Amino acid sequence: MAAPDLPDLVNLAVPFFIATILLELVWGHFRGTARYETRDTLASLVMGGGNLVEGMVIGLVAVWTYDAVYVVAPLPFGEQAWGWHPLIFIACFVADDLRYYWFHRWSHEIRWFWASHVNHHSSQHYNLSTALRQTWTSNLTGAFLMRVPLVLVGFDPLMVFFSGSINLVYQYWIHTELIGRMPRWFEAVMNTPSHHRVHHATNPRYLDANYAGTFIIWDKLFGTFVPEQPLADRPRYGIVGNLLTFNPLRICFHEWQSMIRDATRRGLTPRQRLGYLFGPPGWSHDNSRRTSAELKAAYVARHPEQAGEPGLS
Amino acid sequence: MVVVSLALGQAAEARLDEAAARDAFAVDHPDSVVLSVTVGTDGRAALLQLEDGAVGTVFVLGDRFVTRRLTASLTAGWSAERGLQLHAADPKAPRLLVPLDADVGLQWVSRLAKLGA
């Protein structure tokens, strides 16, 4: 069965992104919410543009890889009459969303991937422009290999890419403070602005939580779901040790620079060097820094009455 | 978009005084006890003497703050034109500038030299 002519969703969505950011800006101005910082917004837009370019250039490696793997897939669905059936597509989308959950989780738990993903979290603001603050180095980490199993199972690489695009575009609208909570049934199943504000927050209880792309069910299934507590613990956005610059080059490469310097410093054992590359962010051979788990433990030590609450157990 | 952002969305740049510096630092470093605060003459940076002998900083970034506990891997210098200059081995904030009156600035250079010693 021939693959349908699928649109390039992300590029098609760019005018929508710009229009809604302007809308949020104007709305926020008159409502006194959704604060924008022009240099922060500009940095996010430059990061978003760079991500598109990186995807077109280095992303070709991913395309070639998937095509090569698809050739050896035992049952390439795209070659079957039912290969593009809506049910196959839904299965592909759900499977890719599960893939995204683990990719995203490892992007926070493994410094090698965090070095790339930290870009997206580097703003202290949380508005629609933050959604566009995307990495330029994702393909360099090799994270694209996490889609190989989907292709090997038999999903057409085009379908896998298209599922990823829908996932990415879906996640755009959840980067806002203008929407409080969605209807309960929606909050139960889908990723929402409330769930994703938690993900972008640096409050100890919110660290390393809510990795979902489209469906929040993965976090509930794998024990990483933390609900937002907007009154008791209002999310503070950014990263632990925020950047003191709006320079896109520094936003893009600062963690790579830190990581390489740490891993190549003198006097370390090979295991310690690997710890700096593949350990959790904040890991250090001399315990001079704190990981998310240690930050949570320190918070619980200061607030023992909150021990056991979501995100602090 | 940038024009609209400048016209409507631009949040006012934050300014530091002693209380704001203490509050901002406490959020990121709740275990640290601040003994004294020196705010830069431009209100965009502050140096904090901490109880454990370490030094903290708070800098303005747009309408937000960026805080650090300074480590020994840092050099401090004084420039009559620019003030206290800190060079840290921190790619997130490698060069820090704190405009200060000369007498205060030179005291901080001396204090920071002990930190790096």
pLDDT for B71: 74
Cβ–Cβ gap B91/A124 under 8 Å: no
Mean pLDDT computed over A285-296: 95
Q: How many CB pairs under 8 A join A and B?
A: 85
pLDDT for A32: 73
Measured distance CA(A211)–CA(A204) in Å, rounded: 16
Q: Domain coordinates of chain B in residue numbers?
A: 12-116
Cβ–Cβ gap B2/A302 under 8 Å: no
Pick from A167, A131, A181: which is nearest to A17 by CA?
A131
Q: Is B62 left (phi over 0), alpha (psi -120 to 50) or beta?
A: left
Angle between helices A86-109 and A157-172 (to 10 degrees): 60
Of residues A185 and A11, which shows the higher confidence score? Answer: A185
Q: Identify from B5, B65, B70, B95 which residue to disrupt to test chain A contact, counting A C-beta atoms within 10 A and taking the largest count.
A: B5
pLDDT at residue B117 tops 60: no
Query: Torsion angle of alpha carbons A159, A163, A168, A169, nearest 10°?
Result: 100
CATH class of the domain defined by B12-116: mainly beta
Question: What is the least distance, in Å, from the CA of B110 to any CA of chain A?
Answer: 24
pLDDT for B1: 67
pLDDT for A2: 65
ipTM of this predicted structure: 0.90
- Within 8 A of A26 by CB-CB distance, chain B residues are 4, 8
Cβ count near B110 (within 10 Å): 11
